[in-house]
Amino acid sequence: MFKGDYIKALDDYRKARRSAAVQELLARLFGNPEDIELLSYDEVRQQLQAVEKSAAHLEDIPLNAIGGSVGRYHDFTRKFLPKSSIDERRWARVMATSQGLSGLPPIDVYQIGEVYFVKDGNHRVSVARQMGNTAIQAYVTKVVTRVDLPSDITPDELIIKSEQVKFLDITKLDQLKPGSDLTTTKPGAYPTLL
């Protein structure tokens, strides 16, 4: 790694941090701050009663479908911009290393529906997005649940999905009438159907 690459990477980090700060401010002023937060894999898995079903396999995954993290969901925004809690030197080292011949090594992720959750490689995802990449190599472990999970799911929509799982547990509708599609768009609607 050349010193010039590292200095440029530090500058890239600071630009990404400023973008994250602006994104957080705009979300607080005009929208829902939760919509820019990464999802917690453990919370989603628990709420949706998801179960790991496959061994990890290597594939290219879209960066914009990565919506959560196993343990670092407080360190990055939903677009994987670094928040103030992460070490700028580490981020800069990953950025500078990515410019080398070997590039970025594959990350490890869980996949629930269309959403990917980073198990290992959060900084690599952040750097890849800052570089303008659209995909990244990942070892993917598939995790299944009874409901669909779109890649752009919001925390409010996750509440609805959690209620849908509980509804299906009680009614067994997905087993008794496969292919039936009883969906709601408002939190609290599934409990009223019971």
Residue 72's pLDDT band (cuts 50, 70, 90): confident
Please check the confidence at residue 1 and state whether its pLDDT lies above 60.
no
Task: Say if residues 108 and 123 touch (Cβ distance below 8 Å).
Answer: no
pLDDT in tens, 133-166: 999 999 999 999 999 999 999 888 999 999 999 9
Average pLDDT over residues 41-67: 94
pLDDT computed for residue 89 by the predictor: 86
Instruction: Take residue 3 and report the two structure tokens written for it.
Output: 């010193």
Task: Say if residues 73 and 66 touch (Cβ distance below 8 Å).
Answer: no
User: Could you give the residue range(s) of every CATH 3.90.1530.10 domain in the chain?
Assistant: 3-152
pLDDT in tens, 43-52: 999 999 999 8
Alpha carbon of 93 to those of 26, 57, 90, 120, 153: distances in Å? 29, 27, 5, 16, 31
Please state the length of the chain: 194
Residue 4's pLDDT band (cuts 50, 70, 90): low
Question: CATH number of the domain at 3-152, please?
Answer: 3.90.1530.10
